Amino acid sequence: MAQVKRDVSKVIQELIFESLKREDARLNELSAEALTVLGTNIMHTLVGEVLASRRRNYRLRLLNIIAEIGHIPDPADHMDLFTLAHDVDPRIRAAAASTIYAVGPHSDRKHATPQEATAS
């Protein structure tokens, strides 16, 4: 059976997210750095991962990355964070509230996407 080749960017993205799921501080740090560098380009996927996962520590790491990026371009993704503010886990609720505050209109941490940064 012939193996279907996947797009390398999708494979790397999957590798980053899988690394972030591990309880390994160094892997988590590198994964968070990579996702933060991608900025708002990866935001929809980040929010989707937080919503889909039931792994508390993974979800908390994802929320921290979203807060670090500091801007959510899609209003639907922003509204999804409000859904997380009603999560059954109090730590997720607290992290979601902190993330909502971090990406709010007062935030001065609006990260440009790599394309925006090179266009300047």
pLDDT tens string, the chain, 120 residues long: the values are 567 788 898 999 999 999 999 999 999 999 999 999 999 999 999 999 999 999 999 999 999 999 999 999 999 999 999 999 999 999 999 999 999 999 987 665 554 444 444 444
Q: Which 3 state secondary structure label does DSSP give 118? A: helix
Domain coordinates in residue numbering, the chain: 10-106
Dihedral Cα 60, 70, 30, 82, nearest 10 deg: 20
Q: Structure pTM?
A: 0.84
User: What is the torsional sign of CA 71, 76, 78, 80?
Assistant: negative
Give residue 5's pLDDT: 83
pLDDT at 107 (0 to 100): 61
Which of 31, 44, 101 lies closest to 109, judged by CA? 101
Burial 43-59 (b: 16+ CB within 10 A, else e): beebbebbeeeeeeebb
pLDDT of 2: 61
Other beta carbons within 10 angstroms of residue 88's beta carbon come to: 6
Q: Could you tell me the two tokens for 94?
A: 């607290």
CATH code for the structural domain at 10-106: 1.25.10.10
pLDDT at 33: 96
